[in-house]
Amino acid sequence: MSFQLTSEQEMIRLMARDFAKKELEPYADKRDQEEIFPEDVVKKMGEVGLLGMMVPPEYGGSGAGAVSYCLALQEIAYECASTAVTMSVANLSAEPLLRFGDEEQKCKYLVPLASGKMLGSFAVTEPGAGSDPGSMKTRAEDKGGYYLVNGTKVFITNGSYAGVINLIARTDPEKGSRGLSAFIVEKDLPGVLVGNKEDKMGLRASNTVELIFEDCKVPRENLLGREGLGFKIAMVALDSGRIGIASQSLGIAQACLDEAIKYAKTRRQFGRLISSFQAIQWMIADMATQIEAANWLTLSAADRKDRGLAFTKEASMAKLFASETANKAAYKALQIHGGYGYMKEFKIERLYRDARATSIYEGTSEIQRVVIAREVLRG
Ligand code: CAA
């Protein structure tokens, strides 16, 4: 078996690395500390094709595919995990339209989303519906020519800056997860309000807000697929999204390892570099091994997606293992830094906070295990 990246995939990785070095690395700490969302940088990401990587060129995307997307997202996350989640949700937002949109919807919304002219967001989670989106309450009532939407969505990445929102809402109160539908909602529609901006532990240069829908009239033609398909559309989009979060986790994990190595090779204690101690070497060996394994799981899920094979189980495995790897790597790398790691002047402090979200959003590690177990038991 051989897994060789194509020259195009290598090129995209290098392009993303250069972009991240120039646009992210010098400013990542300041943006984190001052909670600055880099709107201009996100626009540039659109211009270089990083926001519609799985969308074919005829719909404004770069058509680079899932493997290239993984490679690029890792590079972005290596320098700035906040910008990586912005990029990941932007790419995820194109997925429902790509898979379920009709020609008119694709031309109107997918083209500006994929080319980065418009930023996308994905509104599923509610105050009382996180791991269990099937219990959501946001209501979309059929009024003939339009749906009347009322409800509140929380933790919405890109919410303040989005041009369109992928909204999942309840069209049938009796049918549980089969009573949900998906809509494309223009953000400047009357009745769409941006609520609280979240004060997060990490990923502070990403935008996370509450979105409130108050008697918002969403035109009938903005329904995706048909009524009742909302839960499936969300799950299909999340399958892809989870490959993105696995890649973001890998970028963070690699940055943790590199910071740990750099520190261990300069810090002296007991008259020796601490990299010469076996206790430190074992931590570095574990980090490197787990990153390698997470990388293969993630690329394998992405490769299956590119080849049109089922990848629900593989995406959840990649997301579970890579996000847990990022958390373990952040813990160990900070431990290697000792007291200095706890101080804001060292990069590892930011990485430690950023890593924490990866095993929570787009399905907690516990939810990934539910998905994996179901798929494995189904055979
Ligand atoms: N693809 C297609 N269809 C799927 C699917 C998938 N991956 N997973 C489930 N379905 C279908 C099922 O086949 C079933 O179809 P029928 O009704 O026709 O039988 C239907 O959906 C319901 O499925 P389940 O019975 O399995 O649903 P469930 O209520 O037991 O939930 C779950 C399953 C996997 C736990 C799901 O609820 C889940 O993934 N929860 C986590 C939610 C999540 O990840 N939220 C993240 C929010 S977005 C975010 O975080 C973005 C951000 O800003 C960073």
pTM for the whole structure: 0.97
Calculate Rg over the CA atoms of the chain. Answer: 21
Domains of the chain and any CATH numbers: 7-115 (1.10.540.10), 120-227 (2.40.110.10), 232-378 (1.20.140.10)
Closest CA relative to residue 244, chosen from 344, 149, 155, 315:
315
Q: How far does the centroid of ligand 1 lie from the alpha carbon of residue 113, in Å?
A: 24
Q: Quick one: average pLDDT of 148-177?
A: 98
Q: For residue 128, how many other CB atoms are within 10 A of its CB?
A: 11
Per-residue pLDDT, averaged over 263-282, amounts to 98
Ligand 1 contacts CB of residue 124 (under 6 A):
yes
Band (pLDDT 50/70/90 cuts) for residue 177 is very high
Tell which one of 93, 124, 172, 177 to mutate to probe ligand 1, the residue whose CB is within 8 A of the most ligand atoms.
177
125 CA distance to ligand 1 centroid (A)? 12
Q: Are 177 and 231 contacting, i.e. CB atoms less than 8 angstroms apart?
A: yes
Q: Which residues pair with 182 in a beta bridge?
A: 168, 224
Gap from CA of 134 to ligand 1 centroid (Å)? 8
Is the pLDDT at 215 greater than 90, yes or no? yes
pLDDT one-digit tens code per residue, 5-40: 999 999 999 999 999 999 999 999 999 999 999 999
Q: Is the CB of 207 under 6 A from ligand 1?
A: no
What is the band of 3 on the pLDDT scale with cuts at 50, 70, 90? confident
Task: Report whether residue 203 contacts ligand 1, using a CB cutoff of 6 Å.
Answer: no
Nearest CA to ligand 1 atom 36: 132
Q: What is the chain's length?
A: 379
Say how far residue 33 (Cα) sits from the centre of its chain: 21
> In whole numbers, what is the pLDDT of the chain averaged over residues?
97
Q: For 74, list phi and psi in degrees, rounded to 5.
A: -60, -45
CB of 157 closer than 6 A to ligand 1? yes
- Residue 116, pLDDT score: 87
Strands (E), 37-191: 120-123, 139-142, 146-157, 164-170, 180-186
> Using one digit for the tens of pLDDT, what is the confidence trace for 335-344?
999 999 999 9
